[in-house]
Structure 1
Amino acid sequence: MDESGTGGRLMREGRLLAGRYRLDALLGRGGMGEVWRASDLRLNRTVAIKVLPSHGAPAQAIARFRREAEIAAGLQHPSIATVFDIDTDDDTLFLVMELLNGTDLAAVAAQHPQGLPLTRALPILTQIADALAEAHKNDVVHRDIKPPNVMLLDGDRTKILDFGIARYAEQTTDLTGSAMIGTPAFMAPEQFDRNTPVDHRTDLYALGGVAYQLLTGHRPFTADTVPELLHAV
C-alpha cells in the first residue's frame, strides 16, 4: 500500500519508525525496498535506513533474515557497511546502517567505459575480496555481489552493502515481484536453480564479474533477452 500517495512509495517523509528513527529524505529505491536518510532521535545521529516490505512474507523468512542480519551486524571489517539495528514497525521490516557518502561501482564503471587502470582497480577488488573472506569465515554469504552493491568512498575505500537481504528476498515475492533474485550478468549458474545449494563460491564468481566490468568497462555477459543472457552464463 502506498502510504505517501505518491509514486508507490513504501514510506513517507517524516514517518517515525519504532518511535526512534525519523525518515528525512528518500535516497533511492529498487526491487528490494527503499533507502532513506534518517535521524536517530535517541543517539542524535544521521543514519541510513533500508526499508523492506514484510507484509505477506512468511514468518520463517523474517526470522531467518533477523538471524542473518544479526550475524552480518557482527562482521567487523572496514569494507563492510556497519549495521546498527534491525526492527519492525507495523508491516515494515527495516535495517539501520551507517550513512555512506560515495558512489557505487556501477556509476564508477559507467564513467570509465574503457575500464579502470589496473593500478586503481586492483586495490578496490582486493578490498572487496578481503571483506568477503571475513564474511565467509563467519559463514555469511552475500549472494548478490554486483557493482551497485559496492560503494566507493573518498580515497577509493570500499563498502559492501546489503548482506543478508538477497536470501530474505528469495523467500517472498513482495520485494522483487519475481522469483529471480540478483542481476543475471553477475549471478553464478547455481543461482538460477533453486534446488542447488549456494555457498561462498557464489560470491567469488560474482566478484569475478565485478572485476571484469571494472577492468574492461563492460559486463561479463550481455544479451537482448534474459533467456539468452542465462544461456550465455
Structure 2
Amino acid sequence: MGDVWLLSRQDPPKDPRFEARVAVKTFHIDISEKLVVNELTNWLGLCHPRITPLLAIDYLNWHLAAVMPRMDGSLYEVITKKSFEPTVAMGIVRDILFALEFALGELGIYHLDIKPQNILWLNSPTNVKVADWGISRLASARATTAGMGNASATFTSAAGTPGYMGPERFDPEWPITAASDLYSLGLVASELVVGAFVTDLIRKHGFNEHGLTALNSAAAKVANQIGGSLGDFIAQCTALDPRQRPASFTDALRLLADR
C-alpha cells in the first residue's frame, strides 16, 4: 500500500544527543482513499506498547504520509539468518497476542496480515511491535468479497499475504474471527523456532490446496519437534479448519500459559 522512508535529523548538527530518528510511510496514489483512511483511523486508536505508534499524519513529496518511530528491523530479517529458542519464541508470540487482544478490545478489529515482515523490533529482536494495520477489519466483517472457486483454483481473491492466510479467508460467507489472525501467528511461531520457510514453500507448491497442505505439514512437524505449550499452540492455531483453533486471543494466551 505504500513505501517506508527512514529519516534522521540532528539539531544542532553532529550532536548525537539531539538525533531524531523516524520512519515515514507514504501511500501509493493508486490506493483507494477508503483503504488509506481505514489504516490511519485504526492506527490512531491503537496506543499499546506492542503496537508501532502513529506519531503524526503529514505530507511528503505531495503524498499523504504517516510518521512513526524508526524501528531497527523486522522479524523476517532475523529469521532468515537464525532461529529462537522455544522459550524466547513463546515470549515474542505472547507479546503479539497482547497487541491483537488490545486491538480487538479497543477498536473491535482484527489485523489480518500477521507475518514476520509486519512484526518490527527495537533495540532487541525480542522487543516486538505489530505494524501495518492497512487491511484490518471490524469483527463483524465477512472474510472476503470473492470465493475460493473450484477446488483446484489458485487462491488470490482475498486481501493479505499468500501463505499466511487460512483457507477460510476465501469463503465469502465465513465471518472474520480471531481464528484468521491465530492461523497466521501459528505459522510465524513456527518460523521463529526453525527459521523462515513459508515463502519458500509457497514458491515451491503455489498458493493453492497443495501449498496449504505443505504448510500445515511443516507446522505440524515443528509442533511435534518442540512439544510443550508452544508446540500445542502451533498445532492448534495452524489447523486448516478454523473451528479447531483457539476461540479467542485470550484462549490462545491461556494455551501458552499452560504447563
TM-score by length of 1: 0.66
Structure 1 residues 144-183: aligned runs within 5 Å = 144-155=113-124, 156-163=126-133, 165-167=134-136, 179-183=157-161
- Mapped to 2, the partners of 1:90 and 1:190 lie a distance apart of 40
**Aligned residue in 1 for 2:26:** 51
1:127 to 88, 95, 100: 95
1:189 to 153, 167, 178: 167
- Structure 1 residue 117: Cα displacement: 0.9
Compare CA radii of gyration and give the structure with the larger one.
Answer: 2
Matched, 1:226 2:187: no
SS of structure 1 residue aligned to 2:211: helix
SS of structure 1 residue aligned to 2:135: helix
The one-letter code of the counterpart of 2:97 is A
Count of residues in Structure 1 that have an aligned counterpart in Structure 2? 185
Structure 1 residues 68-217: aligned runs within 5 Å = 68-87=39-58, 92-100=63-71, 102-112=72-82, 115-138=83-106, 139-155=108-124, 156-163=126-133, 165-167=134-136, 179-194=157-172, 196-217=174-195
Compared CA separation, residues 107 and 132, structure 1 to 2 (3 A): same
Identity of aligned residues (%): 31
Deviations 1:60-79 (A, max 9, x none): x24xx425423322222111
The gaps in structure 2 that reach 5 residues or longer are 10-18, 138-143, 146-155, 215-239, 241-259
The 8 Å contact of residues 53 and 91 in structure 1, kept in 2 or not, is answered as no
- Give the structure with the larger helix fraction: 2
The 8 Å contact of residues 58 and 66 in structure 2, kept in 1 or not, is answered as yes
TM-score by length of 2: 0.60
The 8 Å contact of residues 109 and 136 in structure 2, kept in 1 or not, is answered as no
SS of structure 2 residue aligned to 1:77: coil
The 8 Å contact of residues 80 and 131 in structure 1, kept in 2 or not, is answered as yes
Measured on the aligned residues, the alpha-carbon RMSD in Å equals 3.2
Compared CA separation, residues 197 and 52, structure 1 to 2 (3 A): farther
- Structure 1 residue 109: Cα displacement: 1.3
- Structure 1 residue 183: Cα displacement: 2.4
The 8 Å contact of residues 213 and 219 in structure 1, kept in 2 or not, is answered as yes
Deviations 1:92-118 (A, max 9, x none): 332221111x23111221222xx4211
- Mapped to 2, the partners of 1:158 and 1:93 lie a distance apart of 26
SS of structure 2 residue aligned to 1:185: coil
The 8 Å contact of residues 209 and 219 in structure 1, kept in 2 or not, is answered as no
SS of structure 1 residue aligned to 2:163: helix
- Mapped to 2, the partners of 1:54 and 1:143 lie a distance apart of 23
